Structure formats: structure tokens, C-alpha cells
Amino acid sequence: MSKKIKVAIVGCGHRSEVYASYSLKEPEKMSIVAVVDPNDIRLNRIGDKFHVSRENRFHSVEEFLEKKIIADAVINGTMDRIHHETAIPLLKAGYHMLLEKPIALSKKELLDIYHTAKDNHCKVMICHVLRYTPFYRTIKQMIMDGTLGEVFQIITEENVSFHHMATAFVRGKWNSSLTCGSEIMMAKCCHDLDVISWLKSGVAPKYVSSMGGLYLYKKEKAPVGSGMKCLVDCKIESTCQYSARKMYLDSNVWNFYAREYLDRFEDRDTMERLEWSLRENNPMGRCVWQCDNNVMDHQSVMIKYEDGSVATHILSTGTARPSRTIHVIGTKAEIYGDMTEGAIYLRKHDLTVKDKGENLYEEIKIDCNAGGGHGGGDERLSEDFCHFIEGTSTSISSTEIGDSIYGHMIGFDADVAMKENRVVLIDLEMEKV
């Protein structure tokens, strides 16, 4: 790369921080020149981390735009419900954008962002980080190389662990479509629906159906002895797997989400402040059976594509082991993969195999382990974004907005199908794209 990309952060949350951290590892490729967030402590913590001058720290997009900051792009890591209202003025001002998924809350908002970017000659990349993991890149390359022949069925499964589900989708900020704006299929499985459509190489989805519901995390399922808050009035806290004490104090799992509610306190990083907050008003201290959550805790989606192939995605939550698995079946071979294991098994038809009963196939194991966030995808996405903005060659994983629409359309219509108990004909409105 011949040019350092100047970037502003809009929304100083965890995901923005992750993507922007590429600038600290590769300072000759990316620099952070401005930060925007309504919360002073978050604003200054991120501003200090990325060495942003005080005069380039803003409380709103409007303040940022008034200053006319010289930057090539913005990382838009705001919450789902304000993606549209923040993206539109930034794109109209000419800033390229790395936009957190999901793109928007509806087809209308999505297409509005797409056309605004196009009209203002802005490049927009979506944070579909799974495309950038060695695991999914390997599968994509094998399909492109013709190893599997014609792909006619894809089955994916996401297993969200009990502690992740409790933190993000029961107690946390993605627990309600009324506040977050997105249902869980778009907030969590938008990645998986995107991967399926990406592996289908541009073949349009035609029909979608879906079933699911909220089974476990509701008041009727509360065990005898449970209370409203784990550290206040629960009689079974010491034996409960959802104990806030065990998760956020003892095990330190998803601790950063629990601390997000302490951003107004200077001593936010102390265990004493965190424990105090779990007894008081920190949402992470609530009993998982006594929250205001309304998103599904299990859902299955089936898709039929225009070429006659089908795909199924299964969301399971509350599992002991977090994992993503995939099974791709082609006319020549099949792939089974477990992202958590970091392994892909390529199985080819082979009638020459002897003494194996009905197991007439050759199996090749491919190791795809990678460290880092999202299986190594976070950093690779940030790197590709720099290439994308500069106009140099991008990878096969590139998540340009026009290539990210199919997965979103599936997700929007899957929720309609589930709520209305019917198969939905997907109206892609592609003539507008």
C-alpha cells in the first residue's frame, strides 16, 4: 500500500475498537484521526488509546461534520437502530465507510444506504468478518476451484453458549427488538446467512421459511428459589450456571460487556465497582428468567435458491459448547467443518476403498486454526478495508455492500416467515440496486 488511510470512529464501542486496533499494529497503513460518541468516558478512553487530539473528539455526527475533518473513511460501529441515521449524512459528506452488520433494520433502509453510497461515489464495506477467517476462506476457495462440483445443499449451525446468550441476548443490549431494532437472526446470524449466500456465488435466493420461538429465557421457566437479581435475592445463585457472580466476577467471561454499563464511572475497571453495579442497576446483574428480552432463543431458516439448491441455518442457544459448523454437499464431493475445532473434512466419493463397509469415500482433514477475534477474521477485514479504500486488489472475502444484500434479504424475510407461519417469496428489488 502506498497511502495511509485516515479513519474516524463513529460509535466507540467494542467492535469499533477491535477494527480500529489495526491502526496500532500497522500504523503505516491506517491512522485514527477523529472519534465520535455521546459518552465522554467512552469517547476519551478510545480517543486516548488511538492518540486522537482533543479537538477531534465529538459527541455527535453533526458536530463531526461541522468540523469538516479530513479523513478517507469512517468506522461506523453504532448500534443497529441508528445505522441508517448515522450512515446517510456521513455518506452524503463523501466519507467511505466500514459499517457494522446488520446494515440496517429493513429493506428500505438498506437500499437507501446503498443508493446514497452509490450516488455519492462512496465505498462501503460491511463487517462480515466470518468471510475473512481461514476456515471459511478455505471452503470458499474449494468451491471456486470446483472441488465439490455443483453445490446443491448447504447446512450451517450456530450454537450460542449459555453464557454468551445470557450476556448479549437476554440481559444485554441485543435482548429486545424494541430497543436494539434487530431480531436475533439479524443481530447474531447475519454472519451465517451472509456466508451461505457468499458460498452460493451470487445465485439469488428465491424462497425462505422459518420456525422458532422463545422457549427458555422467560418468567414461566424460572427455577424455584430464583430471584430478580443474582447478587441480591437469589437463593440458588451458588449453583446456578447463569450466576452473574460466576460469569462476570469469578470467571471473568464477557466481562467487557458487563463493564460497558460503568462508562460513567472513573473506576469502571475495578472489581469493587463491577460487583456494586451488579447489585444495583447493571442489567448484567439480572436473573435471566426475569429480564425484558423478547428475541428468539432458537430458530431454523430454510432457503431455496434460483438454481434449485437449498440451504438451512439452525440457531441453537444456551449450549454448553459454542461452535459454528457447516456441511456443504456438491455433485463431486462434500465438506464438513467445525469452526471451533478449526478443521475441515473433505470427503470424496471413492468406490475403490475396500473393507470399510458403506464408507466408500476418501477423507482429507484440513486444519484451519487461527488466533484472534472471530477466528482471525477481524484483523484481516480491517486490512482488506484499507485496500478497498485505496483501490488496490482486495481478497475473495471482500464484503462490499452490493455483495452483502442477499444475506440481509433472507434474514428480513425469515422473520416475516416465522411470525406469519408461511413461506415467503423474497422480493430482492434488485432493479433498484
How far apart CA 83 and CA 109 sit, in angstroms, is 9
Scan for cell 407461519, then name that residue.
421
Stretch 127-140: mean pLDDT, rounded? 94
pLDDT band at 362 (very low <50, low <70, confident <90, very high): confident
Give the rounded percent of residues in the chain with a pLDDT score beyond 90.
Answer: 80
Q: What is the pTM of this model?
A: 0.89
Which residues are 6's β-sheet partners?
31
Which residues are 98's β-sheet partners?
75, 125
Scan for cell 436494539, then name that residue.
180
The full set of domain ranges for the chain reads 5-122, 130-217+294-375+396-432, 219-285
Question: Is-contact 407 428, C-beta < 8 A?
Answer: no
pLDDT over 80 (residue 430)? no
Least confident of 36-40, 180-184, 402-406: 180-184
- Say yes or no: domain 130-217+294-375+396-432 is CATH 1.20.120.1080: no
152: Cβ contacts below 8 Å, ≥ 6 apart? 308, 309, 310, 329, 330, 331
> Could you tell me which of 140, 137, 191, 133 has the C-alpha nearest to residue 328?
140
User: Around Cβ 384, how many Cβ atoms within 10 Å?
Assistant: 21
231: Cβ contacts below 8 Å, ≥ 6 apart? 237, 244, 245, 275, 278, 279, 285
427: Cβ contacts below 8 Å, ≥ 6 apart? 107
Least confident of 45-59, 390-404, 408-422: 390-404
Q: Reduced to 3 states, what is the DSSP secondary structure of residue 246?
A: helix
How far apart CA 91 and CA 250 sit, in angstroms, is 44
User: What phi, psi does 334 have (nearest 5°)?
Assistant: -135, 160
Residue type, 92: K
Q: Reduced to 3 states, what is the DSSP secondary structure of residue 86?
A: helix
Predicted pLDDT of residue 181: 82
For the chain, give the number of residues. 433
208's enclosing H/E stretch is strand 205-213
Residue type, 225: G
pLDDT band at 433 (very low <50, low <70, confident <90, very high): very low
Q: What is the CA radius of gyration of the chain?
A: 22
Q: At what angle do helices 83-92 and 107-119 cross, to 10 degrees?
A: 10
How far apart CA 230 and CA 243 sit, in angstroms, is 6
pLDDT over 90 (residue 10)? yes
Segment 71-105, tens digit of pLDDT: 999 999 999 999 999 999 999 999 999 999 999 99
* Cα 421 from chain centroid (whole Å): 26
Predicted pLDDT of residue 370: 60
pLDDT band at 252 (very low <50, low <70, confident <90, very high): confident
Segment 266-298, tens digit of pLDDT: 888 899 999 999 999 999 999 999 999 999 999
Stretch 107-121: mean pLDDT, rounded? 96
Segment 32-74, tens digit of pLDDT: 999 999 999 899 999 999 999 999 999 999 999 999 999 999 9
Scan for cell 477481524, then name that residue.
378
To the nearest 10°, the Cα dihedral for 371, 102, 416, 85? Answer: 160
Report which of residues 376 and 108 the model is more confident about: 108
pLDDT band at 1 (very low <50, low <70, confident <90, very high): very low
C-alpha cell belonging to residue 47: 480517543
Predicted pLDDT of residue 353: 66
User: Domain 5-122 carries which CATH code?
Assistant: 3.40.50.720
pLDDT over 50 (residue 431)? no
Stretch 376-393: mean pLDDT, rounded? 88
How far apart CA 115 and CA 266 sit, in angstroms, is 42
pLDDT over 60 (residue 178)? yes
* Cα 5 from chain centroid (whole Å): 24
